[in-house]
Amino acid sequence: MTGLSWEEAPIGRTHNRSGFDCGDADLNTYLQRYARRNHESGGAKCFVAVPIDAPTRILGFYTLSPASLDYARTPAVAKKGLARYDVPVFMLGRLAVDQHEQGRGLGSALLLRAAERCIRVAQHVGGVALLIDAKNDRAASWYESYGALRLADAPLSLVLPLAVAADAVRRG
């Protein structure tokens, strides 16, 4: 992402949630009404991208939570070496970028930050992939460009193996 210095932070009271507009009413509503409460109550954790010089303005966000995926539904590359039980994954529940910042690489940067966070956590608690529910086919195709695989029985649900994500992180 060029031209914008930003940092990532857990969502907090000081962040201006009402000023965020990604162009999707459901994602806007989630951020404005539920993200902080879920974060603080131990539900999905929400991380925001904020400009270094304006740390209350939200440029984008993503949410993560622990999850599992039925072994039979999991792509082979993500379940290699695992017993035939539910596969431990991390749910990338939401990822959105403010309309003013779209097309500048922030979404990619946030996806890679989410992957890095999951890779670190997986070293301590396990987990082999990000489970992603895309909003539409266009979003699903975007995730596929990072190596995510669509689930055969739910084409808007994808699995991004952490090993594949680690390669994307290394490439930058």
Cβ atoms of 87 and 78 closer than 8 Å? yes
CA distance 164 to 74: 15
Catalytic-labelled residue, pool 30, 62, 143, 146? 143
Cβ atoms of 149 and 77 closer than 8 Å? yes
Residue 62 annotated to the active site? no
Place of tokens 């039979």: 72
CA distance 142 to 16: 28
Task: Show which residues are catalytic.
Answer: 143
